[in-house]
Structure 1
Amino acid sequence: MKRSIAMFVSFFVCAVLLAGCWSKKELTDLSVVIAVGLDKTKDGRYLVSFQVVNPGNVAGALQRGGGAGGVPISVYTSTGDTLVEASRKASKKLSRILYYAHTNLVVISEELARQGLNGVFDAIERNQEFRTTTKLVIAHGHSAKEVLSVLTPIDKIPANQIIKTLEFSEMALGQTISTDVWEVIRDFTSSGKNIVLTGVVIEGNTQRGKRQTNVQSSVPDARISLDGLALFKKDRLVRWVNGSTERGVLWGLDRIKQTNITIPWKGKKEAIGYRAMGVTTRLKVELKNGHPSILVHIQTEGDISETYVPINLADYRLLFQLEKAIGRDIEREVRQAIETAQHEKTDVFGFGEAVHRAHPRLWKRIKKEWDDRYFPHLPVTVKVDASIRRTGLRNTPYIK
C-alpha cells in the first residue's frame, strides 16, 4: 500500500514539474526581428527601426530565383524616450510580437554615436532574448533606418549581407573589424581600452535601393558597403579613419588575418605585392623612471603576390631586402594609427590594459588620467619582423 502511494505521489510530482507549455509562443504570433537600427530624432528621442523577416517571401524568392514574389523584409519604426518604450510602441504597427532571439545585427547612426551610447547597451544586455553575439556597425553618412531599408540582391536578408561582408572582409582585406555586443560591453567596462567599430555606407540612390527593382537588376541602384573605422573615446565617436591608418589600427589590435601590402622598389611606387598571413602582435610594457612605455612587436609571414619590376626572387639577398622594406611599410602604418589615436586621446589599442596586467599598482594610480594625460604622450616603439615564405610559381617576372 505504501509503495503504491509513493508511486502515485512521484507520478503526480513529475506531471506537475514537466508541464512545460505555459510559456509557448506560436510561430504565427511572432515577428522575427533580424536587425535593429538606432537613430535620434530632432527632439532627442530614440527612433528605432526593426528589420522584420517576411517568411513567405523569403522562401518564395529562393524557389523563384529572385524577389519576384515580394520583398523578403519589412522595416517598421517607432519612437520613444527609451529603447524599451520604442519597442513597446511598435506593437501598434505590427500584428505580431517582436521576437529578438534571431537578431544578429545592430546599426547605430553616426549622430547617435557622437552623442554617446551610454544608455543603449543596458537595455540590450538585460533583454533575455537578445544575443550578445549580435554584430554592431555604424551608419556613416546615412541614418540607420536608411541602411536597413536597402534591399540586397545576393543575400535576400540585408542584415545577413552586412554580417557576411564584415566577416569575409576582415578575413581577406584586413581593414574592417567584426565587433559584437559582448566585446563592446567588455571594452566599455574596461578603463584601459576604447572600442572600434566598422562603418557602413550606401552607394547609389538610397530611395531606389528600397524598391524591389534593386534586386532585379545586374547593376543595383544602391549597394551597402563597408567604409572606415569609427574610433570611440569612452561611449562617444570621436574620429573616422580610412586606408593605411585603418589597417594600422588593426595591426595594433592583432586583428589582421590576411591582407595585401604593395611596397615601392627601385624608384617605382606600388612595385611589389606582399600577402601577409600568420600575423601575431604582442604588447610589452617597460618602465623607465617610473613611467610606462610600450613595445609593439609584430611578426608576419606571407607570400609575394605580384611584381611590376624586374627582380630575381631566387636571390636570397634581395628577399632579405624585401623583408626589411615590408617591415618598414607596416611600421609606418602602425605609427600613423598610434599618432592618430594619441591626438584624439583615445586608447583603442588596449595599451592601458597591458599596463594594468603588468603593473597593477602603477595602473591604480594613473588610470583616472590615462586617456587625457598619460596615453597622448606615451612612448611607443614599433618592431616588425616580416618573412617571405613563398614567391609563387615564378622567380623571374615577365617584365624586363
Structure 2
Amino acid sequence: MKRSIAMFVSFFVCALLLAGCWSKKELTDLAVVIAVGLDKTKDGRYLASFQVVNPGNVAGALQRGGGAGGVPVSIYTSTGDTLVEASRKASKKLSRILYYAHTNLVVISEEVARQGLNDVFDAVERSHQFRPTAQLVIAHGHSAKEVLSVLTPIDKISANQIIKTLEFSEMARGQTINTDVWGAIRGLTSSGRNTVVTGVVIEGNPQQGKRQTNVQSSVPDARISLDGLALFKKDRLVRWVNGSTERGVLWVLDRIKQTNITIPWNGKKEAIGYRTVRVKTEVKPQWKKGRPSILVHIQTEGDISEAYVPIRLDDYRQLFQLEKAIGRDIEREVRQAIETAQHEKTDVFGFGEAVHRAHPRLWKRIKKEWDDRYFPHLPVTVKVEASIRRTGLRNTPYIK
C-alpha cells in the first residue's frame, strides 16, 4: 500500500514538473523583427517601422548566390501615441505575432532624438523580449523608415550590415562608436555622463534603394553609410560633430583601437601617415583651489604607414620630432572635442563620473549644477605621449 502511494506521489510530482510548454509559440506563427525604426508624424505621434525577415527569401538568396528571388526583409509601419500602441496596431497588418527577441538594431530619427528619448527607452527596457544589447543609431538627414528600407548587396539583411559596419569601423577607423540601448539608458540616468551615438545616412536615392534592382547592380543606387557622432544632453540630441572633432571625442572616451593620423612635415600638408596599434587613455580628476579639474593622459603606440616627403626614418632625432608632432595633432583634436562639448554644456566624456569616484562628498554637493555651471568652465589638461614602434620595410623614402 505504501509503495503504491509513493509511486502515485512520484508520478504526480513528475506530471507537475512536465506540464508542457504552456507558453509555446510555433515558428510559423512568429514574425521575427530584426530592427525597429522610430519617426514622428506631422501630428506628433510615433511612426514605428518594423524590419521583418522573410526566411524563405533569405535562404533562397544565399543558395542562389545573390539577389535572385524575393526581397529578404519586409517593412511594416504603424502609428500610435505610444510605442506599445504602435506595436499592437501593427498586428492588423501581419498574419504573425511580432517577435522581438532577435531585434539587434534600433534606428531613431533625428527629430525624435531632438525631442527626447525618455519615453522610447522606458517602453524598450520594460519589454521582456527586447534585448538591451541592441545597437542604437541616429538617422541623419533621412527618416528611420527610409534607412531600414534600403536593400544592401553584401549582407542581405540591412540591419546586420549596419551592425557589422559599426563594429569594423570603430575597430579600423576610430571615428564611430558602438552604443547599445543599455549604454544609452546608463547615459540618461547618470548625472556625470551623457550619451554619444553614431549617425547613419543614405548615400544616393532612397526611393531606388528599396527596390530589388539595388542589390543587382555593381553600383547600387543607394548605400547606407555611417556619418558623424550625435552628442546628447540628458535625453535630447544637441549637436552633431564630424571629422577631427568626432575622433577627439573617442580619444577621451578611450574608444580608439586603430586609426590613421596624417601630419604635415617640412611645409607639406598631409605628408606623413601614422597608424595607431595601441592606445590607452586615462582620465584623472584633480582638486585645485576648491574647484575640480581634469587631466586627460593619452598614450599611443603606432607605425609609420606612409611618407610623401624625404625623411630619414632611421635617425632617432627625426623620429623624436615626429612623435612630438603626432602628439600635438592628437592634442589639437582632443581640445576641439572638449571645447565643443563645453560649449553645448554636455559632459559626454564622463568627467563628472570621474569626479564622483574620486570625491563622492564633493560630487554630492555639485552634481545638480555640473552640466550647466561646473563642466562648461572645467579646466582640462591634455597630455599626449606618442611612440613610433615601426617604420615599415623602408627607412629612406624613394621620394627625393
| TM-score, scaled relative to structure 1 | 0.99
Letter matched to residue 169 of structure 1:
S
Q: Distance in 1 between matches of 2:315 and 2:326?
A: 17
Q: CA 1:385–1:20 in structure 2 vs 1: closer, same or farther (change >3 Å)?
A: farther
RMSD: 0.7
Runs of 4+ in structure 1 displaced over 4 angstroms?
Answer: none
Letter matched to residue 207 of structure 2:
Q
Report the Cα offset of residue 159 of structure 1: 0.1
In structure 2, the partner of 1:137 is 137
In structure 2, the partner of 1:226 is 226
Letter matched to residue 343 of structure 1:
H
Letter matched to residue 168 of structure 1:
F
Report the Cα offset of residue 146 of structure 1: 0.3
Q: Distance in 2 between matches of 1:275 and 1:304?
A: 6
In structure 2, the partner of 1:270 is 270
In structure 2, the partner of 1:354 is 354
Report the Cα offset of residue 185 of structure 1: 1.0
Q: Distance in 2 between matches of 1:293 and 1:253?
A: 17
Does structure 1 residue 123 correspond to structure 2 residue 141?
A: no
SS at the partner of 1:119?
A: helix
Q: Distance in 1 between matches of 2:20 and 2:343?
A: 57
Q: Distance in 2 between matches of 1:67 and 1:331?
A: 47
In structure 2, the partner of 1:36 is 36
Letter matched to residue 250 of structure 2:
L
Q: Distance in 1 between matches of 2:18 and 2:185?
A: 37
1:180-229 residue CA offsets vs partner (Å, 9 max, x unmatched): 01111111111000000000000001100010000000000000000000
Report the Cα offset of residue 3 of structure 1: 3.2
SS at the partner of 1:320?
A: helix
Matches within 5 A, 1:314-325: 314-325=314-325
Report the Cα offset of residue 10 of structure 1: 1.8
Does structure 1 residue 187 correspond to structure 2 residue 187?
A: yes
In structure 2, the partner of 1:11 is 11
Q: Distance in 2 between matches of 1:153 and 1:203?
A: 14
1:230-281 residue CA offsets vs partner (Å, 9 max, x unmatched): 0000000000000000000000100001000000111111010000121111
Report the Cα offset of residue 4 of structure 1: 3.3
Q: Distance in 1 between matches of 2:317 and 2:6?
A: 87
Instruction: Tell me the percent identity.
Output: 89
In structure 1, the partner of 2:178 is 178
SS at the partner of 2:259?
A: strand
Letter matched to residue 170 of structure 1:
E
Q: Distance in 2 between matches of 1:242 and 1:228?
A: 5
Does structure 1 residue 386 correspond to structure 2 residue 381?
A: no
1:152-201 residue CA offsets vs partner (Å, 9 max, x unmatched): 00000000010000000000000000110111111111100000000000
Q: Distance in 1 between matches of 2:4 and 2:274?
A: 79
Q: Distance in 2 between matches of 1:278 and 1:329?
A: 17
Q: Distance in 2 between matches of 1:233 and 1:216?
A: 42
Letter matched to residue 161 of structure 2:
Q
Moved more, 6-15 or 263-272: 6-15
Letter matched to residue 318 of structure 1:
Q
1:70-108 residue CA offsets vs partner (Å, 9 max, x unmatched): 100000000000000000000000000000011000000
SS at the partner of 2:21?
A: coil
SS at the partner of 1:153?
A: coil
Q: Distance in 2 between matches of 1:69 and 1:239?
A: 42
In structure 2, the partner of 1:235 is 235
1:121-164 residue CA offsets vs partner (Å, 9 max, x unmatched): 01111111111110000000000000000000000000001000
Matches within 5 A, 1:144-223: 144-223=144-223
Q: Distance in 1 between matches of 2:10 and 2:119?
A: 49
Does structure 1 residue 334 correspond to structure 2 residue 334?
A: yes
Q: Distance in 1 between matches of 2:272 and 2:380?
A: 29
SS at the partner of 1:111?
A: helix
Q: Distance in 2 between matches of 1:305 and 1:11?
A: 72
Q: Distance in 2 between matches of 1:373 and 1:6?
A: 74
Report the Cα offset of residue 32 of structure 1: 0.3
In structure 2, the partner of 1:74 is 74
Q: Distance in 2 between matches of 1:108 and 1:372?
A: 27
Matches within 5 A, 1:48-127: 48-127=48-127
Moved more, 178-187 or 31-40: 178-187
Q: Distance in 1 between matches of 2:115 and 2:232?
A: 11
| TM-score, scaled relative to structure 2 | 0.99
Provide the aligned length of Structure 1 versus Structure 2. 400
In structure 1, the partner of 2:373 is 373
Letter matched to residue 393 of structure 1:
L
